[in-house]
Structure 1
Amino acid sequence: MRIFVALMGLALLAACGGIRDDLANVPDPVGAFRLGHNIAVVNEPVQGPFSRTVEDAEWQAAMVTAVEYRLGEARFFGDKYYHVGVAVEAYVLAFPGIPMVYSPKSVLIFSVNFFEDSTQIKLNDEPIQITVFEPCCTIPLIGSGFMRDKAEQMEGLSFNAARAIERSMRENADWFGGTPELLEADDTIIQGNVLEDNPELVAPQQEPPAELTASTNPLGTIGLP
């Protein structure tokens, strides 16, 4: 059992190592896009079950940083400014479960809007709601909380959220004067709110062991560090 857990841990660390890898490359432009205002609104988002607790200011800082890294002027330098507004709506930061028994996943649920600077026109009719999982956490039987602390989980989620935002931009590139792209599906990015639409994707269908339920209440309002 110990050998198995050690091997799974090494696999998890290897998978998590590439969160920022693609940021080293200058991407193809998305029309005339250049990042103007980078806004993240966090107002007491829903904390999902069996989750560590995150202060609103922590999520705000994490999202602004991730969007700047991915969409800022170091990577996109078109000739028109566009504003990106993100609202963090819900999250789960999984704490250590028990591998092969109960390993909840970490998710971030947010919505994003795009605005053209010169006209102040909102480009999307309705907010685009997205759920992202940590890129590392498609590995079965072991949750990210087993190997990663809160800051590392937040970084993985926020950077994947920024990647999801870029994907939305590319799929709707005509908003920015470009040509829309057809992108392959990504298992770590789902449209909508997975906690409402398909909560079993976050937590296993099994009942959590008693030692976990003793650490947090069923609604997840008391998290672990």
Structure 2
Amino acid sequence: MFRLIACIAALAVLVSCTAPTKDVTDEVLDLGDFVLGHNIVVAPDIQKGPLSREADTEAFIASMKNAIDARMGAARYDGTRLVHFGVNINGYALAQKGVPLILQPKSAIIITVTAWDDRAGGKFNEEAKEIFVLESFTGSSLIASSGFSMTAEEQMANLTFNAARQIEKWMFENRACLVDDVSAADLAECWKDNKDEEMRQRLQDHKERQG
């Protein structure tokens, strides 16, 4: 538990240069025969990071479900391979007002995702996919914490929008296994690297810089 809280704290002060939150108008990706089935989001052990605003757990769950539906739903992907998502919101940090500006805290979320193959009646990925997400920056949050310019609900929407985009990217990376007659070679390459090593390295680098 302590290690997760430490990760949330480190995430909240990392800097990311991503685009502002917007409606889902991104290009539809090639996800094979993907179509979204059940979209289940839970947060039984959600942890709040240091210097974070309070977040209503049910509101966070609803925001995550809505973001997945908007990005991954039948309006964008209408294949025949039914995939169910099980998402666990593990922890978060919502930047707030009143902390030293030099810290410039940023909002962050940690989730894990399991994709279920309806046709096979089992998991695509035995190890849950780990996703660390930082908020996208608006003009005002580039120079100060988003706690000064966004409500907690807006921060949650920002984070879950980005988290859903990462889930879509994950599906795209494994698109070869979302079709019929998957070859043994393709199957061997799918659903790997479920730990977010890039973000873990960024967290480690940040920790080392802090001494």
TM-score clears 0.5: yes
Q: 1:67 to 1:156 in 2, by over 3 A?
A: same
Aligned ranges 1:12-161 → 2 under 5 Å = 18-21=20-23, 23-25=24-26, 27-96=28-97, 97-99=99-101, 101-136=102-137, 141-161=143-163
Contact 1:131/1:192, CA 8 A, preserved across alignment: no
Q: Distance in 2 between matches of 1:161 and 1:86?
A: 10
1:170 to 163, 166, 172: 172
Structure 2 partner of 1:215: none
What amino acid is the match of 1:95? Answer: Q
CA RMSD of aligned residues (A): 3.2
User: How many residue pairs end up in the alignment?
Assistant: 179
2:196 to 173, 191, 195: 191
Q: Compute the displacement of 1:142 (Å).
A: 2.1
- Tell me which stretches of 4 or more aligned residues in structure 1 moved more than 4 Å: 137-141, 192-197, 199-202
Contact 1:134/1:156, CA 8 A, preserved across alignment: yes
Paired residue secondary structure (2:32) = coil
Q: Distance in 1 between matches of 2:198 and 2:43?
A: 16
Q: % of aligned pairs identical? A: 32
Paired residue secondary structure (2:104) = coil
CA deviation profile, 1:128-162 (whole Å, cap 9, x unmatched): 11110012179655221121110110000001000
Contact 1:111/1:130, CA 8 A, preserved across alignment: yes
5+ residue gaps, structure 1: 1-14, 180-189, 206-225
Q: Distance in 2 between matches of 1:147 and 1:53?
A: 16
Q: Distance in 2 between matches of 1:57 and 1:87?
A: 12
Normalising by structure 2, report the TM-score: 0.73
Q: Distance in 2 between matches of 1:117 and 1:158?
A: 25
Q: Compute the displacement of 1:192 (Å).
A: 6.0
Q: 1:144 to 1:168 in 2, by over 3 A?
A: same
What amino acid is the match of 1:24? Answer: T
Q: 1:196 to 1:87 in 2, by over 3 A?
A: farther
Paired residue secondary structure (1:105) = coil
Q: Compute the displacement of 1:114 (Å).
A: 0.6
Q: Distance in 2 between matches of 1:76 and 1:160?
A: 18
Q: Distance in 1 between matches of 2:153 and 2:145?
A: 15
